[in-house]
């Protein structure tokens, strides 16, 4: 079965960096686009970043101001999110999500369980 | 960026009632709209994609309609397991964006 398992979250001081990982299994990793979505405590969902199946295309939320970088390793079936210059507003549960393969879908059919990032001094 | 606005922000309903949630896009998005259900402490679950297509395994009491800027998620007969928060999401153009959520509560 499809599994997405995030790791790398934790408590980090403002201004520091953190790298999240998302290990995938149960599907042909290199044929799916992937995304990161985050959710601050008690708040709604916020789309963060996209990467195409081969890693050649990337898009980011405007609010990140170039601080985050999405990448993937198709040999290791792992998705990454490098987060730099973290601030309190980056405190959230970070989900990795698989984009639905159906043409015209534009949705997320599988999600990880999420990893909590807390930015605090 | 395309803004997604859901209404209402919350709705109180009883088991068996019909519930409708609206989602409006700031620009036309064709049928590039999905709906998700999220329960506390869990990841979202895809209900509808392409505005009206039911995701495999989702009960048929859920349905989606609309195109362009106005969309609706309808639960035809609310069940106890449907009390949750619902989000719409557009995929017409990057950055993809979500609505602010609608919480369906027990009356």
Interface residue of B96, B100, B103 to substitute, partner A, most A CBs within 10 Å: B96
The three-state secondary structure class of A116 is strand
Chain A residues touching residue B100 (CB < 8 angstroms): 44
Alpha helices in chain A (DSSP H): none
Interface residue A46 vs chain B (CB under 8 A): yes
Give the count of beta carbons closer than 10 Å to the beta carbon of residue A74: 15
B44 interfaces chain A, CB cutoff of 8 Å: yes
Residue A30 phi/psi, 5° resolution?
Answer: -80, 10
A44 at B interface, C-beta within 8 A = yes
How many angstroms separate the CA atoms of B107 and B103, rounded? 12
Q: Is the peptide bond before B11 cis (omega within 30 degrees of 0)?
A: no
Angle, vertex CA A20, rays to CA A19 and CA A25, nearest 5: 140
pLDDT tens column, A13-37: 999 999 999 999 999 999 999 999 9
Nearest chain A Cα distance for residue B6, angstroms? 12
Distance between CA atoms of residues B12 and A22, nearest Å: 37
Q: What is the pLDDT of residues B16-49, one digit of tens each?
A: 999 999 999 999 999 999 999 999 999 999 999 9
Is the per-residue pLDDT at A68 higher than 70?
Answer: yes
Six-digit token pair at B38? 């999220």
pLDDT computed for residue A101 by the predictor? 81
Q: How confident is the model at residue A104 (pLDDT cuts 50, 70, 90)?
A: low
């Amino acid at each position: 079965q499809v599994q997405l398992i995030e790791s790398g979250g934790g408590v980090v001081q403002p201004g520091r960096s953190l790298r999240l990982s998302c290990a995938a299994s149960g599907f042909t990793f290199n044929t799916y686009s992937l995304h990161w979505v985050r959710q601050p405590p008690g708040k709604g969902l916020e789309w963060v970043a996209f990467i195409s199946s081969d890693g050649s295309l990337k898009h980011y939320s405007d609010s990140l101001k170039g601080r985050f970088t999405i990448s993937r390793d198709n040999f290791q079936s792992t998705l990454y999110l490098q987060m730099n210059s973290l601030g309190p507003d980056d405190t959230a549960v970070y989900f990795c999500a698989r984009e639905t393969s159906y043409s015209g879908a534009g949705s997320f059919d599988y999600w990880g369980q999420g990893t909590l990032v807390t930015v605090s001094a | 960026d395309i803004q997604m606005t859901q209404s209402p922000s919350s709705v109180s309903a009883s088991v068996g009632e019909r519930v409708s949630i609206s989602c409006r896009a700031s620009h036309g998005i064709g049928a590039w709209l999905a709906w998700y259900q999220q329960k506390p402490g869990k990841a979202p679950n895809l209900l509808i994609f392409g505005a009206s297509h039911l995701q495999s395994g989702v009960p048929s009491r859920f349905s989606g309609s609309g195109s362009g800027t106005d969309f609706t998620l309808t639960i035809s007969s609310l069940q106890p397991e449907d009390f949750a928060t619902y989000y719409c999401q557009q995929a017409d153009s990057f950055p993809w964006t979500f609505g602010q959520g609608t919480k369906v509560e027990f009356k």
